[in-house]
Amino acid sequence: MNVEISNLSMTYPSGKTALRGINLKMSSPNLIGLLGPNGAGKSTLMKLLVAGLLPTEGTILIDGKPLIKKERLLKARLGYLPQSFGLFDELTVWQFLDYMAALKGITNSKEAISAVIQSTNLEEKQKAKIRTLSGGQRQRVGIAQAILGAPHFLIFDEPTVGLDPEERIGFRNLFSQMAQDRLVLLSTHIIEDVQSVCNQLIVIHQGCIRFVGSPAKLIAGAVGHVGVFREKDQRQEAGLQITSRINTAQGILCRAVAEKLPDFVEQAEPTLEDAYLYLISGGVVQ
Ligand code: ADP
């Protein structure tokens, strides 16, 4: 599956421009992380990709054909977990998934539902009413409906919200397994969600694409722009963004990013988080 986005812009009726001139190519198999701070435009991009919104400008081609013309075909091959997902509280987990299977036109629904219940660890909750579930369990039901029927194109908008660290690791592994023969697009503002599993990252900020490439490339672009210093040594420096403060026996150790590091800052190896923060704070990554 190939997705080609050209010159895509989206302005909401309120006048807010959420995306400007987006150009992107994605093809399967791939697990792509869409990173950006809150309000960057990630959800808007995902809604445009599932034809839940119409762009103000630009085109989306799916396997070379306009999304508008292939909407039905795409939907049959699409699994989508929106950011806010309404579940039917009075249905049990199984009944809800059965309903979703019917909507998706899945014929061997019993088998398909059992498979997703197993991969999302919901065996013990399959007969429970959705209103009795915890936030994390509801999120798992949302993920289960998205992967139901093993669609070719999976779009997850902040899928790990509300999950505990162990569940998050479990889902990261599941997404990376699914991406072996599919296109999986995962939006998040949590770096650890994409760090170990995504081979491609798209960073979006203020409605524009700021970076497309591998995590290694993003990190390489921040070399020389990340450093550490003791808080007591700090002087007022324009453009120095402190990204963390750690209490140590020798005082507070600060980590910072800057276009040009001041003399009192000792250069450090960038992590993916440093590189992301450097980019978002206005840094230029080649
Ligand atoms: P993200 O998913 O990265 O947090 P969104 O795509 O939800 O970002 O939002 C991008 C921008 O568009 C934000 O400024 C947000 O307030 C605005 N926005 C989102 N949805 C709407 C809407 N329905 N009407 C008006 N503005 C919106």
Q: Stretch 217-227: mean pLDDT, rounded?
A: 95
Which pTM value belongs to this model?
A: 0.90
Cβ-Cβ contacts under 8 Å for 236 (sequence gap 6 or more)? none
Domains present along the chain, CATH in parentheses: 1-77+152-211 (3.40.50.300), 86-150 (no CATH), 219-280 (no CATH)
Pocket of ligand 1 (CB under 6 A): 12, 14, 16, 18, 36, 38-44
Predicted local confidence at residue 9, as pLDDT: 98
Q: How confident is the model at residue 286 (pLDDT cuts 50, 70, 90)?
A: low
Predicted local confidence at residue 65, as pLDDT: 87
Per-residue pLDDT of 154-213, as tens digits, reads 999 998 888 888 888 888 888 888 899 899 999 988 888 888 789 899 999 999 999 999
β-strands 30-35, 78-81: how paired? unpaired
Distance CA 261, CA 141 (A): 47
CA of 132 to the centre of ligand 1 (A): 30
For ligand 1, atom 6, the nearest C-alpha belongs to 41
Report CA Rg, the chain. 21
Per-residue pLDDT of 93-139, as tens digits, reads 999 999 999 988 888 899 999 999 999 999 999 999 999 998 888 98
Predicted local confidence at residue 221, as pLDDT: 94
Per-residue pLDDT of 6-65, as tens digits, reads 999 999 999 999 999 999 999 999 999 999 999 999 999 999 999 889 999 999 998 888
- The atom of ligand 1 lying closest to the CA of 41 is 6
Residue 131 burial (CB count, 10 A)? 11
CA dihedral of 228, 230, 235, 240, whole degrees rounded to 10 = 20
* The pLDDT of residue 227 is above 90: yes
Residue 129 burial (CB count, 10 A)? 15
DSSP alpha helices (H): ranges in 35-119?
A: 42-49, 67-76, 93-103, 109-119
CA dihedral of 81, 123, 134, 97, whole degrees rounded to 10 = 40
CA of 43 to the centre of ligand 1 (A): 7
CA angle 267, 189, 158 (to 5 degrees): 155
Pull the structure tokens for residue 201.
């990252």
Share the mean pLDDT of the chain.
90
